[in-house]
Amino acid sequence: MENFDIVIIGAGVVGLAVACELSQSSVNKNILVLEKADSFGGETSSRNSEVIHGGMYYPSGTLKVSLCVKGRRLLYEICAKQNIPCRKTGKLIIAVEKEELPVLDGIRRQGELNGVEGLRMITGGELKKIEPNLNGIAALFSEETGIIDSHRLMEYFLQNARGKGAMVAYGSEATGITKSESGYKISVNNNNEALEIKSTIVINSAGLDSDTVAGSAGIDLKKNKYELHYCKGQYFRVTSGKAKLLNRLAYPVPKPKSAGLGVHATLDLGGGLRFGPDDKYLNNRIKDYSVDESKKREFYSSAVKFMPFIKEEDLSPDSAGIRPKLQGESGEFRDFVIQEESDKGLPGFINLIGIESPGLTASPAIAKYLKGLLR
Ligand SMILES: Cc1cc2nc3c(=O)[nH]c(=O)nc-3n(C[C@H](O)[C@H](O)[C@H](O)COP(=O)(O)OP(=O)(O)OC[C@H]3O[C@@H](n4cnc5c(N)ncnc54)[C@H](O)[C@@H]3O)c2cc1C
């Protein structure tokens, strides 16, 4: 049976960031990343908006805030040093009705409490000057928000981890975890062959399956409130060359208690423009990434409120992602779970559960936080 110091389950952006961070230390040299798919980042990490978030929406004192703000600063540094494509586009949250103004001001105040730099309210007139094609009576401008090539970021984490000796096993699904005297035995389905490995430390970064993996180590998911809900987000692409009519990311004012930030306009680094994601809780755990074309009208109606130049026929179904949410439908806010499980009799077992947005932004900060937990 092969022995490792650290096994990380899941090669999404978070698992790879963790592998990259931990492999830099001289202590834990023997690191293995298990990934059930044939390559890295094929699930949520390549099915998102690729936005580097500011950090103004989440309640103060949460991991979502601290890791988003730190992660954003780290990402811009990493991108500059490693030539990873990114652009500080800035973002506008746009009010189109008077009733939205107090909500918008609430986001500004929350952002300031959260230590988000470069936030300011602008009038409808100022909005017209900087984005002549948008409609709105006021907006909150976030200077620090941007976009990133998430694939290149994952490649960087992976190469850097491998460069320091970490290994990645593709086609390798962790199917069971048992506590042993000096660590853990992990059952692995390696391309339909069953094998067992041992590790002193196990890090569960399995995204949409992270609750299942925690359960396979004997953790009571219900009692610990670790059960995930799948919440799908679909995108429509603007195919009519109108992307150049927008210079910044443009978001509506979110509705209270909604699962997402509202259907927004995101630019990508290739010069494209997408609307989305919407939010729909799924009743089952099927990873269905199809886009429902009949939603086109709804997307158009949301978009046209602040982007009057959009026509319904400009939109085509694009892609979808699924949020691994701890918060149930119309439930209360839930923070990321990043937990060392000694109190459950599992020392050296670390769960990362509910790493939904802003998980991409937070990824390098999550890795540093986790390193702190291991100390
Ligand atoms: C629609 C949408 C939009 C988003 N937009 C943004 C955004 O703009 N900005 C932002 O910061 N965040 C955004 N996010 C959130 C962000 O994408 C996620 O937080 C991040 O990608 C999570 O990465 P991860 O590594 O935890 O999970 P994943 O990318 O899901 O990786 C988990 C990996 O684990 C593997 N795995 C699962 N089970 C096992 C097992 N038993 N054995 C081995 N391998 C296993 C999977 O195959 C997968 O590759 C968005 C998310 C969604 C859904």
Nearest CA to ligand 1 atom 33: 10
Taking the C-alpha atoms of residue 227 and residue 21, their distance in angstroms, rounded to an integer, is 28
Is ligand 1 within 6 A of the CB of residue 209?
A: yes
CA of 319 to the centre of ligand 1 (A): 15
Give the pLDDT confidence score for residue 158 in this predicted structure: 98
Averaged pLDDT, 327-332:
91
DSSP conformation letters of 288-321: -----GGGHHHHHHHHHHH-TT--GGGEEEEEEE
Is ligand 1 within 6 A of the CB of residue 339?
A: no
Ligand 1 atom nearest residue 233's Cα:
1
Q: How confident is the model at residue 177 (pLDDT cuts 50, 70, 90)?
A: very high
Distances (CA, A) of 340 to 3, 212, 225, 293: 21, 17, 15, 43
Strand partners, 211: none
DSSP conformation letters of 210-272: HHHHHHHTT--TTTTT---EEEEEEEEEE-SSGGGG--SEEEEPPPTT-SSS-SEEEE-TTS-
Q: How many CB atoms within 10 Å of residue 279?
A: 18
- Contact assessment for residue 362 and residue 71, using Cβ atoms and an 8 Å cutoff: yes
Give the pLDDT confidence score for residue 28 in this predicted structure: 63
The angle subtended at Cα 343 by Cα 341 and Cα 344, nearest 5°, is 70
CA of 155 to the centre of ligand 1 (A): 15
Q: At what angle do helices 150-163 and 13-23 cross, to 10 degrees?
A: 30
Give the pLDDT confidence score for residue 86 in this predicted structure: 98
Secondary structure (3-state) at 65: helix
Q: Which has the closest alpha carbon to 144: 118, 183, 115?
A: 118
Structural domains of the chain, with CATH: 2-47+151-227+333-374 (3.50.50.60), 91-143+229-325 (3.30.9.10)
Q: Is the pLDDT of residue 1 over 80?
A: no
Among 65-74, 129-138, 202-211, 240-249, whose mean pLDDT is lowest? Answer: 240-249
Averaged pLDDT, 95-102:
96
Is ligand 1 within 6 A of the CB of residue 35?
A: yes
Q: Is the pLDDT of residue 260 over 90?
A: no
Give the pLDDT confidence score for residue 129 in this predicted structure: 97
Ligand 1 atom nearest residue 13's Cα:
25
User: For a pLDDT cut of 90, what percent of the chain falls above it?
Assistant: 93
Is ligand 1 within 6 A of the CB of residue 145?
A: no
Q: Is the pLDDT of residue 258 over 80?
A: no
pLDDT in tens, 10-38: 999 999 999 999 999 867 679 999 999 99
Nearest CA to ligand 1 atom 26: 207
Strand partners, 138: 95, 123
Averaged pLDDT, 216-231:
98
Taking the C-alpha atoms of residue 64 and residue 288, their distance in angstroms, rounded to an integer, is 27
Pocket test for ligand 1, best of 8, 9, 32, 43 (most atoms within 8 A of CB): 43
Q: At what angle do helices 359-374 and 63-82 cross, to 10 degrees?
A: 100
pLDDT in tens, 77-98: 999 999 999 999 999 999 999 9
Q: Is the pLDDT of residue 228 over 70?
A: yes
Ligand 1 atom nearest residue 276's Cα:
1
Taking the C-alpha atoms of residue 106 and residue 58, their distance in angstroms, rounded to an integer, is 11
Nearest CA to ligand 1 atom 45: 10
Is ligand 1 within 6 A of the CB of residue 55?
A: no
Is ligand 1 within 6 A of the CB of residue 44?
A: yes
Give the pLDDT confidence score for residue 263 in this predicted structure: 84
Instruction: Mention every residue, 6+ apart, whose C-beta is less than 8 A from residue 317.
Output: 234, 236, 237, 291, 292, 293, 296
Averaged pLDDT, 284-293:
95
Nearest CA to ligand 1 atom 38: 206
Strand 264-267 versus strand 346-353 pairing type:
unpaired
Q: Per residue in 294-313, is it b (16+ CB within 10 Å) or e — as a string?
A: ebbeebbebbebbbeebeee
Ligand 1 atom nearest residue 359's Cα:
19
pLDDT in tens, 49-76: 999 999 999 999 999 999 999 999 999 9
Is ligand 1 within 6 A of the CB of residue 327?
A: no
Averaged pLDDT, 286-296:
96
pLDDT in tens, 134-155: 999 999 999 999 999 999 999 9
Is ligand 1 within 6 A of the CB of residue 279?
A: no
Nearest CA to ligand 1 atom 34: 10
Q: How confident is the model at residue 356 (pLDDT cuts 50, 70, 90)?
A: very high
Pocket test for ligand 1, best of 357, 361, 366, 369 (most atoms within 8 A of CB): 357
Q: Is the pLDDT of residue 259 over 70?
A: no
Give the pLDDT confidence score for residue 257 in this predicted structure: 65
CA of 270 to the centre of ligand 1 (A): 22
Is ligand 1 within 6 A of the CB of residue 166?
A: no
Is ligand 1 within 6 A of the CB of residue 43?
A: yes
CA of 132 to the centre of ligand 1 (A): 36
Nearest CA to ligand 1 atom 21: 45
pLDDT in tens, 305-326: 999 999 999 999 999 999 999 9
Is ligand 1 within 6 A of the CB of residue 347?
A: no
Q: How confident is the model at residue 239 (pLDDT cuts 50, 70, 90)?
A: confident
Give the pLDDT confidence score for residue 325 in this predicted structure: 97
- Mean pLDDT taken over the chain: 95
